[in-house]
Amino acid sequence: MGTVAGLLEGPSRACEVLTVPVTRIDPEDVNPEDSLGGIPMSEVFLTLGEPQHPAAPPGDTMSQISKPMLDLVDRIALALPRGTRMQFATVERAPRLQNRVDAGSDNQLLIESARKQRLEHGSPFWQALFHAGGAQDDGVPDEIIQAALYHQSPSADDELTLTAGIDSPSTLLRLAASVDEDDVLMLTSRVLKPDGLEAHIPLLDFSIKSRLQGARISALRAARALNVPGELTSTGRSYHYFGLALVSEREWRQYMARALLLAPITDERWIAHQLLAGYASLRISESDKGESPVPLGTI
């Protein structure tokens, strides 16, 4: 076991040091001869657990959030000034594209072609879909373009909040228990500081598929390049990043814009949806397949 320390902004001090016990990642996942800024990768990335995705017991609403994810939210809360209100949100699982467009053969052929490209080459689905449509004489159908503009904003209200340094993890469990079965519970980037000013927790979604050999190290490098301390989590198919610091509205937009430059390692469509919403959000509850995100490590 070792420790990792990160510098975190506080309300009345320049920084404080957060020390978290960690274990090192499997050497097969990281080339020990590789480095970032002269620091061996084996010293840069530390993991809190193996990327196994426990499924919640059927019908057990209270376990929509796994213990590792509860602990991660607690670590985020510890990194914030005491009294900061963290905002959570719910969103209904979006209908599949096939259910949003006409079931005509042309549309379905395009969708199947894009899915094949995604599975074989790890291409982002919508990029593959637009490429396949652009290769046709008739171009991308209007219906596909309209479907691509579909935006679903999370639902956040005053009842879905947790106060850092005051509320306990059991508060989050109660929030999870109130979520409808078809909804997903998400942590949003938007917080309200004790001084009444709004700020953001940097959050990031990745597009690169975890089944690719270099996916995890690529996501790590992208997150590290954006220069915000945080933790990487595995979603099963890709990765999420949760910051352990606060940034202003302007800094958050800059963070998102810089992250967009790293697409398709990062998820460009997710970034667009967060900018439309005015804040970011990431899933902390189980997926529609019953899989929970798994914290991988601190950067």
pLDDT of residue 40: 43
In DSSP notation, 186-237 reads: EEEEEEE-TTS-EEE--EEEB-S-TTSTTHHHHHHHHHHHTT--EEEEE-SS
Q: What is the pLDDT of residue 39?
A: 38
* Mean pLDDT value across residues 238-250: 98
Inter-residue contact 82 to 166 (CB < 8 Å): yes
Same structural domain, 18 and 166: yes
Instruction: Say yes or no: 274 and 210 in one domain.
Output: yes
pLDDT at 288: 74
Q: Does the structure show a pLDDT above 60 at 98?
A: no
pTM for the full predicted model: 0.73
Q: Give the phi and the psi of residue 47 in degrees, each rounded to 5.
A: -110, 145
- Do 106 and 83 share a structural domain? no
Q: How confident is the model at residue 100, as a pLDDT?
A: 57
Domain that holds residue 25: 2-90+154-298
Q: Please, what is the angle between helix 125-134 and helix 105-121, to 10°?
A: 130
Q: Are residues 291 and 207 in the same domain?
A: yes
Residue 7 pLDDT grade (very low, low, confident, very high; cuts 50, 70, 90): very low
Residue 295 reports pLDDT greater than 80 = yes
Q: How much is the pLDDT for 71?
A: 95
Claim to verify: residue 124 and residue 144 sit in the same structural domain = yes
Q: Do 118 and 71 have their domain in common?
A: no
Q: What is the pLDDT of residue 103?
A: 58
Residue 107 pLDDT grade (very low, low, confident, very high; cuts 50, 70, 90) = confident
In the prediction, which pLDDT does 104 show?
61
* 175 and 129 within one domain: no
pLDDT tens digit sequence for 68-93: 999 999 999 999 999 999 999 988 76
Q: Say yes or no: 223 and 284 in one domain.
A: yes
Residues 115 and 67 in one domain: no
Among 81, 113, 148, give the residue marking a domain's end: 148
Q: Using 50, 70 and 90 to split pLDDT, how confident is the model at 53?
A: low
Same domain for 8 and 133, yes or no, is no
Q: What is the pLDDT of residues 140-170, one digit of tens each?
A: 888 888 887 877 777 677 678 999 999 988 8
188 neighbors 281 (Cβ within 8 angstroms): yes
At residue 95 the predicted structure's pLDDT band, cuts being 50, 70 and 90, is: low
Q: Taking residues 94-102, what's their average pLDDT?
A: 57
> Which residues, 6+ apart, have CB-to-CB distance to 177 below 8 Å?
61, 62, 64
Place of tokens 């894009």: 114
Least confident of 113-127, 181-195, 233-247: 113-127
Same domain, 158 and 143: no
Q: Both tokens of residue 183?
A: 């909804």
Over residues 15-52, the pLDDT tens digits come to 333 333 333 334 334 443 444 444 344 333 433 334 55
Q: What is the mean pLDDT of residues 174-188?
A: 85
Are 178 and 278 within one domain?
yes
Question: pLDDT, tens digit, for every residue of 109-120?
Answer: 777 777 777 767
Q: If pLDDT is split at 50, 70 and 90, which confidence band does 56 have?
A: very low
Q: What total number of domains does the chain contain?
A: 2
